[in-house]
Structures are given as C-alpha cells and as structure tokens.
Structure 1
C-alpha cells in the first residue's frame, strides 16, 4: 500500500511520539487516571444524560427490568426516562446493577453472576424485589453480592498482569488474532503498566465501581488526542482480545451457585428472571425455580421467536401447582456509556435505552406473543403482582 506524502508525515510524527512515550508517570498521566476513576459528572455529561437523542411519545407502557445505572445518579436517570416517555400511563422500572442492589422508586434489583455447576458455566440471574421486603432480611444476600463483586474485580488484576508480568502466551495469541503491529503491543504494555502503578499509588481514593476492566479501555481512549484515532483503535482491538482471553480462563468455582442465589432471593420474597438465555442454553434445561425468561435483548435476539415458543409450550402443559413462566425483554442499557464523549462511545451500547425493546413491536414476534396472550401491559401487571405477593 502506497502512502501519500501527508500520510507519510503523519506516520513519522506518530512513530516519534511513540518513541518518546515514557514509562515514567507524568502529571498528565495522573490527571487522566484521576478523571477515569472519578464518578463525579461534568456539566456536559449531565447534559448528555438529560437530553436523549430520541423520544417515544407513542409508548404508553414502560417495562425495564434489566438495565445498569452504573455511576449515574438515579434522579438523572428518572428525568431522562420522563423525557423519553412523556405519555406513559404505566411503568415497571427496576435497576439491575452488576452484583449490587440498587433502588428505583418502590423496587430494587441486581444482575448476579453465579455458577451453574451442572454444566460448569457462569450464568447470570436478574433478581427483583419490592424494596420494603429487603428490610432486616437482606444481610446475607448483600454479603453474597459483595463477595461476588470483589471476585469479579479480581479479574481486572489478572487482565493487568497479562501486560505487566507479562503473560506472553496471551499477548502472542491476541496479537496473532488481531494482526496488530509490535509497536501497538508495546504501547499497550506501557500504558497498562502506568495504570497498575497509579492504582497502587491512589488505592485509597479508588471507588469500588472503578475497579473493573473498563478502566483500561477508558484510559487508553483518553489518549486519542495525543496518538490519533486510527492507532488507538488498533490498540483497543488488541487489548479487547486480551480481555476476552482473560475472561475465558477466569475460574468460576468461587462464584456462588445459581441455586444458592435463587434460594436466598426466594427467602426474601424476590423474583428471578434468566437473562441472555441463548448465551447459556443449558440453563433452559436446568429446571431452576424462576419466574421467567428474557427472550430478547440487544445482545441476545437471534432465537427470540424460538424462546417465545418454548415459554408458550411450557405454560400450555404446566401442572396446576406451577405459575406461568413470564416473557420479558431487556434493554441491557449501561448508563455510564451516555457520559462518554460521543467519539469515544461504543455505538452498539450507546443506542440502548432504558425501557426501549423494539421486539415488542416487531410484527412477526407479535404473532408469537399473541398466541400466548402476552402484551407488555399484562406482563407489567402480572410481574408487579408477583413482586408484591
């Protein structure tokens, strides 16, 4: 491939910057790091949250049982929802932060990582509660979730060690798969090394929420003005592949078993939904004591119609002592993505919105829903009833 004179100059400038990029931590590095771990929102970030790109004036029923507030204050989430659905008549909105109970209005929820020992895989469960039921009964559950958060956070340090020890097999495998040049690999190792040292230096200041894999992605993105989008994109592709390798080798036996989470949730009077079932196919055969399946979300929608048939068939032949399985859909919205600069946002994640699940209005899917007598409105009513019972 032949470069123009201008491209040659740009490449030369980039190589010079990379040669001069030191392993020493500068004031600028500290400033970027402190910004990355901060949960305080700037004015422009608040404006992005409070001004959604789209409004849904024709949606009168808002069902949102799978979304992640992250570090966005609940009052800002509430105002965004009110702007997005100005004509809503009814709503059931329950936040599901990863491994942490959070409350919106009268309801509390979480998305819990756990271990399905029967088929030796990590699975996730959505657990929901009427908030009043948690009083004086949730001590054990909160301790279980705290353990799970701590264990999940340990993955970040395995991720970091891949670059800083380094774990050569992981780096070689990721570089071969992504085809990135050695200079990008070296750059990633240098940057992650700085992050590791700054984590140690500022440990007392680091919020628990910031101890996650996204810290590395966000820090590298902050270097775009200095090194350009094309180079940082290549680095991010490589870093993401290393992350996937780390996740695939992460031990699962230290998570609580799915049955333990379900048992504790039922003890408190909560409900359970299985999200992403098409990512965890065996869970459909596990006969877990759950209230329903999430048949669609932005990450899991290839088999939506099949999953609706599965639920309809189950409900048709269930015995009299069992409740119907409910059909829910999840937007899987991560509100923290709304606080990132537009050019740094993940487009696939940014377009997700609380309470927006287009599958409810898909004409083919509607045919399946009608066969089971299912509408968004009656799911809201039935699920609210179960939460209160």
Structure 2
C-alpha cells in the first residue's frame, strides 16, 4: 500500500500516553485501512440495517401529532424512513414531515426542505436556516438559482474536512494542534495517533476520489473512520482521541472563512421568492440571529443540542409577537429533533447513544410539564403549529 512520510510532532515536554505504543501503529495505509474506508463511505444498506431503520426499538402510540421539520435522511431510503415513522406513531392523526438535508433539497410527500449554511453579516458569524417548500415550487428550473447557491454551499463541508485533516497532520499546523491539545489536556501520543490516522484518511480520499460519494466528504468521516478501529486500539484510547479531535475541529470551524457563504438575507430573499417558509434552528448556538429581525416564520426553541433555554425562548418569541403589528404574521414556535438517520445504520456498539436516541418527530419538550405551562400561556400547541405552518406553505 501507499507509503507516507512519518509524522513527527514537537511536543517533547508533553506527557506521554500509556494507552498506545506508537511504534506499533503503521504509518502506511494498510489493507485494513482501505477496507475500513470502503466500509465507512458505503451507501449500500444491508438487510440487517434496513430492519434496524424500519423497526425502531420503541413506539410512541400516545403521540397524536407529528411535527418534524428539522431532520436529516442522509442516504437512507425514504420508504424505510416512512415505515419507521408509521411504527413510531401508530395512532397519529396530524402530521407535517419535511426533511432538511444539509444544503440539498429533498422531498417528502407534498413538501420539500433543506438546512442551509449561511452567514449573518450583521454580527459576522455562520448561521443556519431551515427552508420548507411545496415541492412543486422547487421543481425544475423554478429553483435554478437557489439550487446553484446550495450546490456552492454544499462544497464547503468538503473544504472544511481537508482543512481539518491538514490541521491534524501537517507540520505547518503544529501550533493549532498544540492549542487543541491544551484545551482538552490531550497527551502527545494522542495528538500523534490522531495525526497518523488523519494523514491516512486524506490519502485514502485522494486515492479513491472517483468512488467516494460527495456527501461522505465531511468532518464526521474522520470520527467514523477512527471508530472502526475500536476493536484494535480500545475504547479508552479512541475516546480520548475523539475528544482531542473535537477540540481541533472547533478551532478549524472558528477560522473557516465566512466569505465562502451566502448572506442569510440573500438566502431568505431567494427562498421567499419560491414561497418558502423559513425557520431559525439551534438558537442557543446562534443567539445574535434572534436580534437580527430577519423575515422568518418561526424559531426553534428546543432540540437535542439546545435544551437549556427553552422556556426563556418561548417567552421571548411571545414578547416579539406582542410587539408585532396586525399586518405582520406571528412568529411560530418550533422544536427540532435534529435526527440523523445514518447514525441508526451503525452497529449499535459504534453508535453515539445520544444521537442514536433521536427520532423524527420526537420532541419530548412538548410534553414536559414546565414547558407546557409556558406554551399554554402563549396559546401554542403542536397541532396548532402544524395547521398554521402548513397553511403558510400552501399559501
């Protein structure tokens, strides 16, 4: 297999890690590495995986309304997902289900959706928006401009992965590695172990570029690639490595040029021309966007990554609605499950338990007693949001 330059780091004074003997870790790409790479980029679904998707571990027969406008099918077939939803909520009556793949428009029934990466020039940071449409409004040439904008934005995740891999392995990026190691107290051997596998992964991507799905080229490819080596190197070493790489990834994201993205106002304007509904997700990660007065239909007040300020956000949306004039539409309250279906394809031993537990349309905050108290005071219900948002989309 391909030989690579041996990676040497300069953390001479850093602590060493007793979990790994680096002299026993091959620097070259091995047949095992290549087999692992083929496995993690594969979009083929086995019968066992199909069963895992179609038959969830538990159902929610008492949930009558399914509102799911923030979730990611990835490469899982919609027919399998539909079977899962029907099994999850066997008694449901009302539903509004719209997929929101990152920077790629996908359809479900009469609707289509996408989660768009963009930036807000007012406070100079990356944000995300959920766009939802009647599917005929984005068919054919009608949505040519928006699809071109999304196609450009889609490529940023590939660009960021390469910068991530370079940051983990190239000698010129030593300072960034040291900063990440200091942030999470990673030993020198952890940093070097991550560097070896990052270099291997970059080499494998380059050697298999034509056979690699473009959607696979994103940051989590490194995490998935490394996780496959848990039987060889053990959970403790891999856990420590993943913590370090997460810290490094955050540094890469912070320094990624925002000029790559379209402005949020540009995305909203183009989406509105196609009759789109627009929702702000992840409010706890993007606080300033709540002050930007964008033309949106609603704000996500809860998702599995943003749960701490749900009641505060409900009150904040209600206050904004109190100040709106009669001609302005009320801001709607949404909750997002942020379910990534590919997590459920993994062997259960390799799944992230928190991510694997997410389900399309499952947002426990709707039934939380304290949150329900706030919702009742605002006159908000899941069924009401479904009816109002569907009416707006059907326009």
| TM-score interval, smaller chain | over 0.9
Counterparts of 1:282 and 1:197, CA distance in 2: 39
What residue in structure 2 maps to residue 8 of structure 1?
A: none
Q: 3-state SS of the aligned residue for 1:114?
A: strand
Q: Counterpart of 1:108? A: 112
Contact in 1 for aligned 2:20/2:233 (Cα 8 Å): no
Matched ranges for 1:223-372 at <5 A: 223-372=229-378
Unaligned runs of 5+ in 2: 1-16
Find the counterpart in structure 2 of residue 6 from structure 1.
Answer: none
- Shift of residue 87 of structure 1? 0.5
Task: Name the counterpart of 1:41.
Answer: 45
Residues 10-52 of structure 1: per-residue CA shift (max 9 Å, x gap): x99x655x42222122211111111111111222222221221
Q: Deviations over 1:302-358 (max 9, x none)?
A: 111111112222223321210111111111111111111222211221111100011
2:165 is matched with which residue: 160, 165, 183? 160
Cα deviation 1:276-302 (Å, max 9, x = unaligned)? 122212211111111111111111121
Match of 1:200 in 2: 206
1:167-195 per-residue CA deviation (whole Å, 9 max, x = no partner) reads 10111112222223222222211111111
1:137-195 deviation line (CA, Å, top 9, x unaligned): 11000100010011232000100111232310111112222223222222211111111
**For the residues of structure 1 that align with 2:388 and 2:34, how far apart are their CA atoms?**
51
Deviation at 1:247, TM superposition (A): 1.0
d(CA) in 1 for partners of 2:324 and 2:266? 25
Contact 2:54 2:84 in 1 (8 A): yes
Write the mapping of 1:11-30 to structure 2, written as runs, cut at 5 A.
15=20, 18-30=22-34
Question: Which position in structure 1 is the counterpart of 2:143?
Answer: 138
Distance 1:301 1:235 in 2: 27
Aligned-residue CA RMSD (Å): 1.4
Q: Distance in 1 between matches of 2:121 and 2:308?
A: 26
Quickly say closer, same or farther: Cα 1:179–1:316, change in 2 above 3 A: closer
Equivalent-residue separation in structure 2 for 1:314 and 1:229 (angstroms): 48
Matched residue pairs, number?
377
Divergent runs of 4+, >3 A: none
Cα-to-partner distance string for 1:52-82 (whole Å, 9 max, x where unaligned): 1221000011000000111111111111101
Q: 1:80 aligns with which of 55, 79, 84?
A: 84
Render the CA deviation track for 1:253-291: whole Å, top value 9, x for unaligned.
210000000000000111100111222122111111111
1:104-126 CA deviation, whole Å, 9 max, x = no partner? Answer: 11110011110100000111100
- 8 Å contact from structure 2 (residues 157, 217) kept in 1: no
Distance 1:23 1:63, change over 3 A: same
The residue aligned with 1:221 is: 227
Contact 2:157 2:219 in 1 (8 A): no
**CA–CA separation in structure 2 for the residues paired with 1:15 and 1:208:** 33
CA distance in 2, matches of 1:123, 1:246: 16
Whether contact under 8 Å (2:268, 2:295) holds in the other structure is yes
Secondary structure (helix, strand or coil) at the match of 1:294 reads strand
SS at structure 1 position matched to 2:266: helix
Distance in 2, Cα, partners of 1:43 & 1:226: 26
In terms of mean alpha carbon deviation, does 57-66 or 305-314 score higher?
305-314
**Per the alignment, do residues 375 and 235 of structure 1 end up closer, same or farther by CA in structure 2, a change over 3 Å counting?**
same
